[in-house]
């Protein structure tokens, strides 16, 4: 009874946001989220380690792992928002602040509701609440640009397309099964769930909302959506896959869609010049890697390769947790850059490391984690997955699958290095290529504190998340042939040793450099410019030049306008209409056209008269009564 009271009371505290002073709204929402996070952590401890702590949310072991990502990102982004939102105090009303932070709190509790739901109705209610609250959050700056309004509306439409897929999936699910319940789920039902959850995840070609909605939303919202909300779709796919009857087919589908999604996302990320869009495409890439890992795990389980199944499933969950840590930090860094420099265009940025040393260092650590450099968090999940692949080679189990997976991970990893090195070097190093809108300076203590929370898990997450996932992995995946403790020990020692080697090499390089500089007689001279004097920052590498070769090779239609003469230098205007863009536009156009076709046919019932709408409600109630009488 008391636990049920807490379940209602905590979200209800958010209603006080509508009556407290505007400058305290952000801090109060942060306090509510932290209180809710404490209750979630108690539930995670009860689920994973069989504690009997009071007031904890009830989770399954699988849901507990996803709840950890929600807590980390929600606490970090809520603290960060207290500083990020200050610049809007004089531009937004108290009601706008209250609605925004109420939706922020609602998004957190709706994600917890998705993970703790024990009925179909509860799951769907929480899922819809999650979509609506995130839609309101994306609308924060809609009064400044119609593009933001269009991005939010497009997001809402796609989320409801996914919701109807889930609705049909639950309707077709056998009555004797629980919530996607670990039984013999028919493949056609699984496909409906995959489509519904895949839209939330951003699986290609259902990814169109991601690179549009994330740049439109405030950075603390982008962090929560990309690093936590996307995981709700992964949770649904994971749980549906564990309950599928034809697990081999589901594994092949997940592997194929994951490969296409990851390659598309990392290619678009490497070619992007807007920092938040780059990070949004990077999220698509990482969701694809997680789907590849789940697919490998499902195929391994179906073919009897226990090591491949174990490492595939475990690698997916570890990478999910690690991605939550470093991607939330990257989005918060992007918000700090926009807040300080006034732009996210990488072609305009430069030299911010000197002006924003703390933000620049955090950006560097997050980028190193994103490219899986030990000992940072991003290394652990990919190492476990690669360990399973190499073990499959050794045992000669599913060799073809392991070979394809190895090639895919190599391609994705190499291109990720290109994307992240471009983002960091163009934003933080060199000089600005254009006049910045603001004079860059370090952000306030709240934004730095929120980023530090995510950075803490970037630093220790590799070992920590490995221990958490492997602690209950046999029960979570129903694979008892392999003990996770040996793999866990091997992974943690590898992270420690390789991390130590990385730190030592970096220390030696910087020490030798400093020693050589001290012993030399330095003179300050202009950089030699091949005969050209007074070179401007415009001659530095632009963001597009980093990936020009990749874009030229991958684009289906790249054309150059006539050369523009600019003194000693020439410039090409490049228009990139790749095949992936055309596919995305065509699919979106078809979906919107289909919805417009049916909505215009239903428009005749929208008379604008209240008595007609009351009559519609009455007809609906009568219909429900008739269906109930006939047992339908």
For residue 526, the model assigns a pLDDT of 61
For residue 537, the model assigns a pLDDT of 61
What is the distance between the terminal CA atoms of the chain, rounded to a whole angstrom?
33
Cα separation, 484 vs 495, whole angstroms:
16
Q: What share of the chain is helix, strand, coil (3-state, %, to 5)?
A: 75, 5, 20
pLDDT in tens, 93-115: 888 888 889 989 999 999 998 88
pTM: 0.81
Three-state secondary-structure class, residue 559: strand
For residue 612, the model assigns a pLDDT of 66
**Mean pLDDT of all residues in the chain?**
79
For residue 547, the model assigns a pLDDT of 63
Exposure of 95 by Cβ count < 10 A (0-12 exposed, 13-18 middle, 19+ buried)? exposed
Query: Consecutive sets of 10 residues in the chain, 632 residues long: mean pLDDT of each?
Result: 58 78 86 89 84 79 89 92 85 84 90 86 88 88 76 83 86 64 73 89 82 84 90 90 84 90 87 86 90 88 81 88 92 88 81 86 91 86 83 75 83 86 84 71 87 91 85 60 69 84 86 72 62 60 64 47 37 45 60 63 63 70 72 59
For residue 560, the model assigns a pLDDT of 36
As beta bridge partners, residue 566 has 569
Cα separation, 496 vs 383, whole angstroms:
13
Cα separation, 173 vs 158, whole angstroms:
23
């Amino acid at each position: 009874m008391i636990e049920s009271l807490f379940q209602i009371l905590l979200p209800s505290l958010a209603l006080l946001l509508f009556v407290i002073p505007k400058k305290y709204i952000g801090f109060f929402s942060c306090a509510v989220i932290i209180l809710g996070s404490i209750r979630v952590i108690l539930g995670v401890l009860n689920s994973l380690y069989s504690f009997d702590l009071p007031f904890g949310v009830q989770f399954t072991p699988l849901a507990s792992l996803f709840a950890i990502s929600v807590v980390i990102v929600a606490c970090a982004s809520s603290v960060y928002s207290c500083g990020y939102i200050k610049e809007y105090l004089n531009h937004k009303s108290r009601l706008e602040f209250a609605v925004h932070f109420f939706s922020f709190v609602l998004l957190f509790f709706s994600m917890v509701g998705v993970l703790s739901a024990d009925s179909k109705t509860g799951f769907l209610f929480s899922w819809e609440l999650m979509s609506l609250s995130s839609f309101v959050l994306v609308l924060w700056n809609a009064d400044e640009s119609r593009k933001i309004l269009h991005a939010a509306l497009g997001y809402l439409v796609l989320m409801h397309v996914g919701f109807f897929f889930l609705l049909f999936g639950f309707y077709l699910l056998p009555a004797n099964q629980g919530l996607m319940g670990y039984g013999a789920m028919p493949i056609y039902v699984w496909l409906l769930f995959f489509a519904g959850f895949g839209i939330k995840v951003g699986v290609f070609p259902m990814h169109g909302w991601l690179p549009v909605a994330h740049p439109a939303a405030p950075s603390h919202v982008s962090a929560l959506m990309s690093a936590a909300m996307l995981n709700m779709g992964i949770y649904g796919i994971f749980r549906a896959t564990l309950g599928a009857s034809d697990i081999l087919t589901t594994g092949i589908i997940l592997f194929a869609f994951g490969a296409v999604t990851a390659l598309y996302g990392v290619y678009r990320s490497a070619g992007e010049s807007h920092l938040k869009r780059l990070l949004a495409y990077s999220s698509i890439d990482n969701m694809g890697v997680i789907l590849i890992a789940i697919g490998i795990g499902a195929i391994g389980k179906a073919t009897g390769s226990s090591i491949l199944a174990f490492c595939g499933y475990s690698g997916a969950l570890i990478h999910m947790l690690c991605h939550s840590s470093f991607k939330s930090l990257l989005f918060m860094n992007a918000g700090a850059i926009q807040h300080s420099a006034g732009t996210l265009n990488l072609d305009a940025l430069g030299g911010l490391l000197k002006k924003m040393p703390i933000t620049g260092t955090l950006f560097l650590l997050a980028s190193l984690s994103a490219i899986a450099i030990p000992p940072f968090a991003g290394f652990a999940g990919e190492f476990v997955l690669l360990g399973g692949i190499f073990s499959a080679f050794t045992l000669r189990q599913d060799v073809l699958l392991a070979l394809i997976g190895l090639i895919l991970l190599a391609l994705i990893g190499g291109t990720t290095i290109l994307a992240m090195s471009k983002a960091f070097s163009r934003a933080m190093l060199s000089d600005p290529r254009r006049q910045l809108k603001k004079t860059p300076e370090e952000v306030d203590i709240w934004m730095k504190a929120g980023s530090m929370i995510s950075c803490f898990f970037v630093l220790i997450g590799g070992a920590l998340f490995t221990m958490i996932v492997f602690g209950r992995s046999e029960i979570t995946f129903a694979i008892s042939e392999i003990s996770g403790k040996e793999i866990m020990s091997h992974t943690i020692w590898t992270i420690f040793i390789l991390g130590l080697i990385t730190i030592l090499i970096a220390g030696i390089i910087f020490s030798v450099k400093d020693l050589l500089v001290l012993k030399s007689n330095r003179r300050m001279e202009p950089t030699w410019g091949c005969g050209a004097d007074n070179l401007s920052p415009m001659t530095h590498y632009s963001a597009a030049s980093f990936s020009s070769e990749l874009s030229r090779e991958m684009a289906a239609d790249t054309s150059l306008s006539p050369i523009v003469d600019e003194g000693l230098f020439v410039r090409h205007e490049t228009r990139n209409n790749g095949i992936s863009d055309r596919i995305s536009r065509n699919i979106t156009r078809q979906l919107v056209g289909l919805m417009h076709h049916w909505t215009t046919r239903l428009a005749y019932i929208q008379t604008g008269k209240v008595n007609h709408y009351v009559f519609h409600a009455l007809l609906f109630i009568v219909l429900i009564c008739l269906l109930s009488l006939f047992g339908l």
